[in-house]
Amino acid sequence: MNLLIKSTTVIDSKSNFHNQTVDILIEKGVITKISKRITNPKNYKTLSLKNLHVSQGWFDSSVSFGEPGYEERETIANGLRTAALSGFTHVALNPNTNPVIDSNADVTFLKSKSSKTPVSLHPVGALTKNAEGSELAELYDMQSAGAVAFQDYQKPIQNPNLLKIALQYASGFNGLVCSFPQESKISGNGVINEQVTSTSLGLKGNPNLAEELQVARDLCLLEYTEGKLHIPTISTAKSVELIKDAKKRKLNVSCSVAVHNLVLNDSLLSTFNTNLKVLPPLRTQEDCEALIDGLKDGTIDMVTSDHNPIDIEHKKVEFDHAKYGTIGLESAFVALNTVLTLKKTIEVLTKGKSRFGIEDAVIAEGTRADLSLFNPNSTTIFTKDNIHSTSKNAIFLGHEIKGEVYGIVANNQLVLNQ
């Protein structure tokens, strides 16, 4: 692919062209020239868009599709198309499929399905066989096939000895173990945050304590094993404090937060809208503010959309019976951009790559073009027209958003929102 990008502002703190408005020439998928003005050398395709900005390609550390087994929710092909149109060039795909991704052959299948796509798919293997929490899956074999981490998606590891063994075993090949932060006996049958809202609505609550106990336990196990741990989608102020302290003690820990847990709070649940039923649940505004502060000071390493398509049959039911999950790729940047500066937004959408073993592609001459294309300044309302996913369970429907994603340049391909 050959392309001349005209008059674009570079947002990449690692690039010599950071905050500069330049032209970028791409030949056969490689950036060959960056300059204030470039004359089209061979009548290449020219890209010129309103207030165009480019950054290193964004990475989402927690994405679910459906294939194999739940194709009615989302296929791999449409999921990766959605990611591209949402500005992501790399996604880590969760193993919550049928069958569960828990072997070398399963990981190889996912890699083969995405071998020629613009978006790079990075499989996350199940930590335990069939994600049942009883015995470890084939971790080393899966990493050999291309798995970048291991977790039982949204299923806490209840047996602490199993997590201890996983951390010890995976450290032998630098494997990244993920542990979902919820103590199931404390969370019980809670479906929303345990607070004033849950009491007023008569819905069972899932308290902050359920998350914080699990985070504290897992950090103790990490300190004992000297392993490598990632805690996905934290949601409480106390979790931020616990992880901040662990990092001060030099533990090898990282964590993420879902965009909706940063931007939305549990006061919205008075409508009983099942698109708001997510795990971990929406917490209080105080928790939201603590999470934002955790991002700003570096305690929280990355942001995820936690994209989880759920078909209408499992969402258009009573709140208690609806499945957890929201689609989030389409809204990730434009929602995050409402609560963070542009510089910080781009930082937390790209920072997670190194933790998952994915190479950065700094915007510089001679590097492969791995770019997200966007306009950070437009303001509008998120509607069904913004949705590219097969499932429509979008938590941000009707909310004000800031910015517009144009598409990506990655893997020698250009994908644009038309």
Per-residue pLDDT tens digits for 59-78: 999 999 999 999 999 999 99
My answer on whether 30 and 104 are in the same domain is no
Per-residue pLDDT tens digits for 170-196: 999 999 999 999 999 999 999 999 999
Please give the DSSP secondary-structure letter assigned to residue 353: G
- Is residue 92 predicted with pLDDT exceeding 90? yes
How far apart CA 282 and CA 140 sit, in angstroms, is 35
Owning domain of residue 66: 58-356
**Residues 6+ away with beta carbon under 8 Å from 96:** 64, 131, 153, 154
Element (H, E) at 377: strand 371-381
My answer on whether 27 and 108 are in the same domain is no
My answer on whether 39 and 176 are in the same domain is no
Tally of structural domains, the chain: 2
Show which of 337, 356, 375 is a domain's final residue: 356
My answer on whether 402 and 266 are in the same domain is no
My answer on whether 345 and 395 are in the same domain is no
My answer on whether 27 and 44 are in the same domain is yes
Over the chain, what is the mean pLDDT? Answer: 97
Per-residue pLDDT tens digits for 24-47: 999 999 999 999 999 998 999 999
For 338, other C-beta atoms within 10 Å of its C-beta total 17
H helices of 297-362, in order, are 329-336, 342-350
Give the residue-averaged pLDDT of 221-238: 98
Please give the DSSP secondary-structure letter assigned to residue 394: B
pLDDT band at 405 (very low <50, low <70, confident <90, very high): very high
Give the residue-averaged pLDDT of 319-323: 96
My answer on whether 18 and 99 are in the same domain is no
**Residues 6+ away with beta carbon under 8 Å from 32:** 25, 26, 365, 366
My answer on whether 277 and 369 are in the same domain is no
H helices of 255-411, in order, are 259-263, 285-296, 329-336, 342-350
My answer on whether 303 and 405 are in the same domain is no
**Residues 6+ away with beta carbon under 8 Å from 385:** none
CATH code, domain carrying 24: 2.30.40.10
CATH code, domain carrying 64: 3.20.20.140
| pLDDT (0 to 100) of residue 200 | 94
- Is residue 322 predicted with pLDDT exceeding 90? yes
Give the residue-averaged pLDDT of 273-281: 98
Residue 294: HSE in the Cβ half-sphere, 13 Å Cα cutoff: 32
My answer on whether 92 and 173 are in the same domain is yes
Residue 310: HSE in the Cβ half-sphere, 13 Å Cα cutoff: 22
As a whole-number percent, the residues of the chain with pLDDT over 70 amount to: 100
My answer on whether 243 and 381 are in the same domain is no
| pLDDT (0 to 100) of residue 418 | 77
| pLDDT (0 to 100) of residue 41 | 80
My answer on whether 291 and 350 are in the same domain is yes
As a whole-number percent, the residues of the chain with pLDDT over 90 amount to: 99
Active site members: 306
Burial class from Cβ neighbours inside 10 Å (0-12, 13-18, 19+) for residue 36 reads exposed
